[in-house]
Structure 1
Amino acid sequence: MALRLSFKWILIFEALFAGIYISLTKGLFVIYLTSIGQSVEQISFVVLISSFASLLIGLIMYRNPSFITRRVKPKLVTVHALERFTWMLMPLTTNIMAISALYSTYMVLSFLISTFIAFSIYGSLAESSIREVTAKRTAANGLSSILGFVLGVFLLALLPAETKFAYIFTLGALVGLLSTILIVFIDLSHLEGVEFPKTIEQPEKIFSTSTFLIILMSASNLLGIIWTPYVMNYLGGPDYLAASMNLAGTLASVTASIYWRNKSFKALRSGLALNALGPAIILAAPWPLAHVPISVYTSFTYTGANFLGVFLFANYNRWFGAVRSGILLGILGNLAQLIAAFLGFFARENFTLALLAVLAIKILAFVAVAFTVPEAAVVPEYVARSYSQILYNSSLTGYRLSIEISKETILTIFRLLALSLVITALVIIYRILWLMMV
């Protein structure tokens, strides 16, 4: 019992220190890119490249999950520390390709950390304890992020423009290493060589919940890409006001994690419905200062919506397995970032179009939950289960069909290439013979 208690508290305090670190690094990253003159298109490019890299690693991990179950603690400590050092290098360049490479490295390391942490939680705790630790980690992360964002706003306002991000990112990385030190003391020996289910009992449930989470997180990530440039470039707000939005949103997430943690799935669905209104409220507010309380609203409701997906996976954990849950949650997050980056790249500086896209995607997320997730549906559970099965079967059929079409397309291309080579060879032979006869 004492061991399990210390396990929980190490994870909670790890999130506490990580909150300051993230708020001073990733939390200010879009502001940093905006301040050095990067457009929405360029910001989206950075996110796109980094998301693709981490998604690729995620897919490899999903195909080879044994990597996660061997030498768990040494791997977690290593990637945990390396991620922090990445931010010390970030402000040393303003070259978009170099920034993309560094941020891609950060995203790959972040994916591995998230996977190991999720595996540790799902593989060590029961569903009720998963809810408890998730909520407390969110609250601890939020509380420390408040301190981080306050410090960030203060430093952004006072430090010289040419050096402030070098100081801020380095300070954040050093604080982040404190959470790495805590990980050194966690006991993960019980996870070594853990077995994972060979088959999935209810794949349609995993598919429906995964679809919902991808849609929800895609909308959230797209909003994260465009909201800061919208406030700073379009509405004319200063960088410290954008940081204040992050601060207000983080404060809201602390109280939200306490409010939502014991709610039923159907109650969490209401958070999703309310969150869908956020982009419309943003469009209706032309004053930069008004976006601070809007950030409170969107963060509070998003916490409930996100908890819906996380708690559903906790519910499925007993038959889906901790390894797959941890890896899949990381993959979904990366895939959502990739989709958001694509949308942001094509939206460019058309903020109205981008915000309307976020609104539409969030509404789609609610529809997905309302009709295909039995635990939170507005229709009877058996109807939602049927819709979920239909969606899964349709997608599986489409996937198989696309594979067959791809195979036939590739074979056709090779046949055409072979035919072209034969014709080219005949022409060359004919030409040589003709020259010899002349």
Structure 2
Amino acid sequence: MGNALSKISMIAEAFFAGFYVSITRGLFIPMLAYSGYPVRDISLVLVPTAVGGILVSSIVYRDPRLFESRFKRVIISSHVLERLMWFSLPFLLLSPPILSLAYMLANVSAALTSILIGAAVYSMFSGDEVIEVSIHRSAASSLSSLLGSLVMTYVSAAYTAPSSYYLLYFTALLVGLSGSMLLMMTPIPRSISEPRSSVVEEVKIRSGTALLILSLMFAGSNMLGIAWSPLLKELGAPVYITVALTITGNVGGILGSYVWRGYKAYITAMLLNSLLTAAIPFIAVPTYHIAVSFLTSLTFLGVNLLGMHVFSEVNDRIGRIRASAYLVSSNYIGLLAASLISTFLQSPSQNLILAGSIKMLSTLIALITIQEAAIVPAKRAYEISKIIYSTSLLGYSFTLQASRELLKTFISALALTALLLVLYILYRVALTLIGV
């Protein structure tokens, strides 16, 4: 009974989170694009966020003991803080530097929350239960995301900006905090203990190769997210068409959670997703993009399930927090790569074609390194993954060091900037409430 209650609680948390995420994340890029931000400025807003997410994942991975003794308390605190930070964003549109900082802080807390939620799933369940709960959480999240997308589309069509932004983000805040309250009552372990033994080479290589595959796929996915709204704007599509992409996308997410089973299916989904992404800039009719959104979301679920499957197999060797940190960091590494690349590519079409190419590269690496589905013998796949792991580790270490140096340049002014940010948010909220 207790295990069934834990499953229901974690699935319900994903349902609340899906609604909140669909609005706060789904509206953010269109909100920037239709507020006059070009692709370059959108990319620059995202860069500090990616750096922050990578650093948080790295810190958590290097010293998970920071969170072991107060595991549940940190999850709930980060959960609440994340939702409050995302609520502030529409009030900062007129100040891009402050918006970028707030967006970074929102995503840093989101990264920590995601890592700890993933570790909680690994701690509360084992083996096939992890995959089962993850599939149901993904489906529940996609279902509530669909509801959130419908609300977002209706409000965007019925109200003018920025009033629609304020209303939507406030609604998302209330739903998101409802999930936080549910999490408080969920039987998550108050503390956990991670393994202290060193990780064997085979596990390091498998985890590192999976990190590279996921990072490349997320790089392509984030480039798609950055460029798709500007492309539709170039095609003359109204904002509700852009927002409606998430509706069919979420339907695809619901179905995709149950379509893909096993490593061969995951890689097939990756291949289809790569081809679809590269085809988007050649589709001239805006309404057709809504159908494409369904297919890209349907196939991208294979990527998420591949990552969850790999790390569910190795989490008892590297630790639950570390396994979850691997998964989350891949998204932020992909975001950093996408942001930097998109800064130099002004054309949305160029971004999308390159995004499809990067995803195809990820698929190729998966085809020659994931032993369960490789097109080469398993022994040869391991040898290739070892070579790729050794090479990519150098690049990851360089990226991490660069991220640290970038953070140091901001650290002396961070406290003052954070204080000014809070004051400015309160000022903007006050002006909005009194109608000035």
Task: Give TM-score scaled by structure 1 length.
Answer: 0.87
Per-residue CA distance 1:42-81 (angstroms, 9 max, x = gap): 1111111111122122222222111221201111111111
CA distance in 1, matches of 2:58, 2:107: 14
How much has 1:395 moved relative to structure 2?
4.8
Are 1:366 and 2:363 matched, yes or no?
yes
The counterpart of 2:386, out of the listed 383, 389, 394, is 389
How much has 1:321 moved relative to structure 2?
2.1
Aligned partner of 1:210 in structure 2 is 211
Of 334-343 and 189-198, more deviation after overlay is shown by 189-198
Structure 2 CA distance for partners of 1:395 and 1:333, relative to 1, 3 Å: closer
Structure 2 CA distance for partners of 1:395 and 1:227, relative to 1, 3 Å: closer
Structure 2 CA distance for partners of 1:296 and 1:161, relative to 1, 3 Å: same
Are 1:338 and 2:336 matched, yes or no?
yes
SS at structure 1 position matched to 2:355 = helix
CA distance in 2, matches of 1:256, 1:26: 20
CA distance in 2, matches of 1:250, 1:313: 25
Aligned partner of 1:326 in structure 2 is 324
RMSD value, Cα: 1.9
How much has 1:394 moved relative to structure 2?
4.3
Paired residues for 1:37-186 under 5 Å: 37-94=36-93, 95-186=95-186
Structure index of larger Rg:
1
CA distance in 1, matches of 2:220, 2:393: 25
CA distance in 2, matches of 1:353, 1:75: 41
How much has 1:399 moved relative to structure 2?
8.5
Paired residues for 1:261-300 under 5 Å: 263-300=261-298
How much has 1:190 moved relative to structure 2?
6.3
CA distance in 1, matches of 2:293, 2:189: 41
Are 1:317 and 2:315 matched, yes or no?
yes
The counterpart of 1:308, out of the listed 273, 297, 306, is 306
Identity %: 29
How much has 1:196 moved relative to structure 2?
4.5
SS at structure 2 position matched to 1:223 = helix
Contact residue 130 and residue 312 of structure 2 kept, 8 A: yes
Matched to 1:139, the amino acid is: A
How much has 1:327 moved relative to structure 2?
1.5
Structure 2 CA distance for partners of 1:127 and 1:193, relative to 1, 3 Å: closer
Aligned partner of 1:11 in structure 2 is 10
Aligned partner of 1:435 in structure 2 is none
Contact residue 278 and residue 354 of structure 2 kept, 8 A: no
Aligned partner of 1:425 in structure 2 is none
SS at structure 2 position matched to 1:25 = helix
Are 1:356 and 2:353 matched, yes or no?
yes
How much has 1:195 moved relative to structure 2?
3.4
SS at structure 2 position matched to 1:189 = coil
Contact residue 22 and residue 145 of structure 1 kept, 8 A: yes
CA distance in 2, matches of 1:212, 1:395: 11
Per-residue CA distance 1:392-423 (angstroms, 9 max, x = gap): 344568899x89xx9xxxxxxxxxxxxxxxxx
CA distance in 1, matches of 2:196, 2:250: 35
Structure 2 CA distance for partners of 1:92 and 1:5, relative to 1, 3 Å: same
Per-residue CA distance 1:375-399 (angstroms, 9 max, x = gap): 2211121111111122234456889
Of 188-197 and 83-92, more deviation after overlay is shown by 188-197
- Segments of 5+ residues of structure 1 without an aligned counterpart are 407-438
Structure 2 CA distance for partners of 1:395 and 1:281, relative to 1, 3 Å: closer
Structure 2 CA distance for partners of 1:374 and 1:76, relative to 1, 3 Å: same
CA distance in 1, matches of 2:396, 2:240: 47
Contact residue 275 and residue 305 of structure 1 kept, 8 A: no
Give the 4+ runs in structure 1 shifted more than 4 A.
394-400
Are 1:25 and 2:24 matched, yes or no?
yes
Structure 2 CA distance for partners of 1:279 and 1:184, relative to 1, 3 Å: same
Per-residue CA distance 1:316-358 (angstroms, 9 max, x = gap): 223222121012212221111111111111112x122211211
How much has 1:125 moved relative to structure 2?
1.5
Matched to 1:35, the amino acid is: Y
Structure 2 CA distance for partners of 1:190 and 1:82, relative to 1, 3 Å: closer
